[in-house]
Amino acid sequence: MQNTDSLEQRSMIEAPSFDVIIVGAGFAGMYMLHLARELGLTATVLETAPGVGGTWFWNRYPGARCDVESMQYSYSFCEELQQEWHWSERYASQPEILKYANHVANRFDLLRDIRFNSRVESAIFHEGEDVWQVSTDGGEHYRAKWCVMATGCLSAAQRPNIPGLGTFKGEIYHTGNWPQEPVDLTGRKIGAIGTGSSGIQVVPELAKLAKHLYVFQRTPNFSIPARNQPMDSAYETEWKQSYAQRRTAARTMPAGIFTDIGTKSALAVSADDRLLEYERRWAAGGTGFTGAYSDLLKDEDANSTAAEFVRKKIREVVTDPAVATLLAPVDHPIGSKRICADTNYFSTFNRQNVTLVDLRSNPLQEVSENGLTAGSQFYELDTLVLATGFDAITGALSKIDIVGRQALTLKEKWRDGPNTYLGLMTSGFPNLFIVTGPGSPSVLTNVIVAIEDNVKWIADCLAHLKTRGAETIEATASAEEGWMEHVGQAAEGTLYTKAKSWYLGVNVPGKPAVFMPYVGGVPTYQKICEEVAADGYKGFVIEGRSESLSARQAVG
């Protein structure tokens, strides 16, 4: 025991030391590394995967693609980068986005400061020294003054707890952790569980390959045709001619997406006009559909006009009326769960080799060696595809043993739900920043916009701390309390809380049901973040080492 302790202490003292440790090499971690370097800080990135790209490294399932248009779902921080890169489709596929992430890594020479195959298991704040010690599954230790969690909102794949899953003799694939080597599903009897965004993307592709595909659905979801197509060169040119202006304009829109948003109430126009508008948006395709009217996510009556329009479309596309009824969502307002964009999802259920199994009336009982039983029916399967989503927003953080002041663990602190100030920091955990953390707009936006804005704010903050020669920055408990109250109030006035969604964490057994993202929108959030910084980082305590104790006592 003695020996282990001293070994541990020695490796801690000898641990490589940096100004900043960044956890995660997705779009957030890569940009953070780039900006840390520009500040002249020493930085390293620790990443579980053997490559960059985050989401786009892990989600290699057939059909995976973005649902924010690629001209927007990309970095905006470098004009040359956005001019030189060419997207081949309106919505890029996973391989192309991963290629882009690698292009960025090479272009900005990021790889030399990223340690791959390094899963962070713990991050412990050493109070006396004001240093974070970060340890990986490989037994390596690193030290840094600042630690940035760029671990992603949708990076902790959620495996369902189905009795007997471990006994299945066929292959099991999770969409969020798809194998890196090619998977041949041709001629297989496939069971797909889950009909959220990933399920809706993967099902049409599986159907093309499978001998038979059984889609096991608990909750139907709203989806709008993506109308994906090869990139129109005139459209690309139009964007590139005014890229910077369009990126700026996007940041004035609630979701950080440059699009046309209706300013009228859905109830203030005639039924005929509404129909025309919904048809126009349906034909244009994409998730901008819910931007048709200003109150679609606020007023249930307004919302039901859009929901009913989509349900009618589903009934038109799906030839079997009983199947159409099962596919048409009735238990939540449209947009209150992440709205999906699909390619031939609903028409896939017209294929002879596809069967929809409704788990509400035929509950999933067990998986056995050769298949799955739902209701009283046994389905023989070769392959199971789990499109069961993520332990969203807090999942990746909760898998790390994060220990702050006075041995407080983040798990303990967030036992009843996550508390942050601006989604960026949490009190009791000095110098620990979170990118797109709970309490920030994150998954309600074009996430790359949310990432860029958070990362830039953190970098500006680090520059400020460096200039001041500060040792620590920490959110005050009262600022955090005020922010969480504001986050809760913002959600209350909307329909987001009317759905049992992963925004609330209810897809994860035992997770407290708290609405996690900030619904106030990108412009409001960004304005608040900027004001906080301009006001000398109001709501944060910034300390030099000698001041630290007295200042903390003063704050209480």
Ligand X SMILES: Cc1cc2nc3c(=O)[nH]c(=O)nc-3n(C[C@H](O)[C@H](O)[C@H](O)COP(=O)(O)OP(=O)(O)OC[C@H]3O[C@@H](n4cnc5c(N)ncnc54)[C@H](O)[C@@H]3O)c2cc1C
Interface residues with ligand X (CB under 6 A)? 23-29, 46-49, 54-55, 57, 59, 64, 66-68, 73, 119-120, 150-155, 176, 198, 396, 399-400, 435-436, 446-448, 451
Kindly list the distances between the CA atom of residue 518 and the CA atoms of 93, 394, 439, in Å, as whole numbers in the listed order: 28, 14, 5
Smallest distance, ligand X to C-beta of residue 58, A: 7
Helix (H) / strand (E) element for 551: namely helix 548-555
Cβ-based nearer residue to ligand X, 326 or 425:
425
Q: Is 111 exposed, middle or buried (0-12, 13-18, 19+ CB in 10 A)?
A: middle
Q: Which is nearer to ligand X, 175 or 303 (CB)?
A: 175
Half-sphere exposure of 93 (CA within 13 A, CB side): 11
When the beta carbons of 24 and 191 are compared against ligand X, the nearer one is: 24
Quote the least distance from Cβ 395 to ligand X, whole Å. Answer: 9
Contact (Cβ atoms closer than 8 angstroms) between residue 352 and residue 233: no
The residue length of the chain stands at 556
CA distance 29 to 159: 25
Q: How far is the CB of 308 from ligand X (least distance, A)?
A: 26
- The nearest distance, CB 154 to ligand X, in angstroms, is 4
Q: Which is nearer to ligand X, 424 or 448 (CB)?
A: 448
- The smaller minimum CB distance to ligand X, of residues 49 and 206, is found at 49
- 218 burial class (0-12, 13-18, 19+ CB within 10 angstroms)? middle
Helices 94-107 and 27-38, axial angle in degrees (round to 10): 10
Residue placing its CB nearer to ligand X in the complex, 286 or 333: 286
Q: Which of 498, 430, 424, 509 is nearest to 458 (CA)?
A: 424
| Least Å from the CB of residue 29 to ligand X | 6
Nearest approach, Cβ of residue 433 and ligand X (Å): 13
Cα gap 439→502, rounded to integer Å? 14
**Looking at this protein, which amino acid is placed at residue 94?**
Q
Q: Residue 62, CB half-sphere, CA atoms under 13 Å: how many?
A: 16
Work out how close the CB of 220 gets to ligand X at its nearest, in angstroms, rounded to a whole number.
19
| Min separation Cβ 392 and ligand X, Å | 9
Distance in Å, CB of 153 to ligand X, minimum? 6
Contacts of 13 (CB under 8 A, 6+ apart): none
Q: Which is nearer to ligand X, 440 or 548 (CB)?
A: 440
231-234 contact pairs (CB < 8 A, 24+):
231/70, 231/86, 231/87, 231/88, 231/89, 231/90, 232/90
Q: Which is nearer to ligand X, 448 or 479 (CB)?
A: 448
SS3 category, 340: strand
Name which of 387 and 532 has its Cβ closer to ligand X. Answer: 387
